Amino acid sequence: MSQYPLIIDAQTLSQHLDDDKLLIIELCKRDIYIANHIPGAVHFDYGHIVKVEKPVMGLVPDDEHLRKVFSALGISVDTHVIAYDDEGGGKACRLLWTLELAGHHKVSLLNGGIFAWANNGFPMEHTINHPVPADFKVNKDNSVLATLDYIQEYLDDPDIQILDARSVAEYRGTKNFAQKGGHIPGAVHYEWTDAMDRNNNLCLLPMEQLQKTLAAKGFDKDKTVVAYCHSHHRSSFSYYLLKAAGFKQVKGYAGSWSEWGNHPQTSVETL
């Protein structure tokens, strides 16, 4: 078991920067990284972990691509990855989720990302860090992945719940980026940013409050919850929110609405 929590705060991370098994990965824009970043952090381009087959976005690259990318990042079986970004955690969580899908579960999200670190006065550096390559082996864990076929098969199963992390307008179908508007039938809306404290560096709201909100929306820890958005970017954050809140069976839908909303044989609901 890892010594690091799934959601790590800036104070805790600041006390472990000298851990040689720790790899801190930043997914901010390159110019932000060059200007200032957490000491020891390496920069990573989000585009390397998503595959686009228009109109479907956010698909998972093949195993060989993931092996090369994660090997180049220096991730070995002993590496604990802590990721952060400048948007509350969407890109960082997609990286961590992809690592889990590839079989690497030693991962953490920096709560509040670069804002929580910088605004609390922790040290920054502008030296560009280059990872030492490692030999990453992909050992797929498909338990974290939901596919279109999976959702269609279990759409009427009472033990499967679906969380829509998009905006209210997207959920209702009044704003649309696909051939069809609306949401997956039965999906419950919980916009990803609603779990963030805008007065506290986009950190997660207090966990007790989040658990009450999830319960009020009908989410059950004893059921499997599938999180989706448009390309499993925003919903990757929701995936880790659910896990942090104690949900044991959580899946991410990689193709999300860009696949469901463009597929000729999917049903949708609108409000």
Question: How many CA atoms, within 13 angstroms, populate the side-chain half-sphere of residue 30?
Answer: 3
**Distance (Å) of CA 164 to CA 60, 116, 219, 248:** 19, 26, 12, 18
How far apart are the C-alpha atoms of 96 and 180, rounded to whole Å?
30
CATH class of 142-260: alpha beta
How far apart are the C-alpha atoms of 222 and 219, rounded to whole Å?
9
CATH superfamily, with its number, for domain 7-119 = Rhodanese-like domain (3.40.250.10)
- Answer yes or no: is pLDDT of 238 > 90: yes
pLDDT of residue 2: 59
> Which tokens go with 12?
């805790």
Predicted model pTM: 0.97
- Could you write out the DSSP letters of every residue in 138-163? ----GGGEE-HHHHHHTTT-TTEEEE
Whether residue 203 lies in the annotated active site:
no
Alpha carbon 216 to its chain's center:
23
pLDDT of residue 3: 85
In this predicted model, what pLDDT tens digit does every residue of 130-175 receive, in sequence order? 999 999 999 999 999 999 999 999 999 999 999 999 999 999 999 9
217 within 8 A of 188, measured Cβ to Cβ: yes
pLDDT-based confidence at 1, cuts 50/70/90? Answer: very low
Question: How many CA atoms, within 13 angstroms, populate the side-chain half-sphere of residue 167?
Answer: 8
The domains spanning 7-119 and 142-260 adopt the same CATH topology: yes
How far apart are the C-alpha atoms of 219 and 202, rounded to whole Å?
23
Which position has the token pair 């922790």? 122
How far apart are the C-alpha atoms of 244 and 187, rounded to whole Å?
21
Q: What ranges do the domains of the chain cover?
A: 7-119, 142-260
What is the average pLDDT score of the chain? 97
pLDDT of residue 36: 95
Q: Of 118, 83, 16, 98, which is closest to residue 50 (Cα–Cα)? A: 98
Q: How many helices (H) and strands (E) does the chain have?
A: 10, 14
Query: In this structure, which long-range contacts are made by residues 171-174, counting pairs with CB atoms below 8 Å and at least 24 apart in sequence?
Result: 171/271, 172/270, 172/271, 173/268, 173/270, 173/271
Catalytic residue among 28, 93, 203, 229: 229
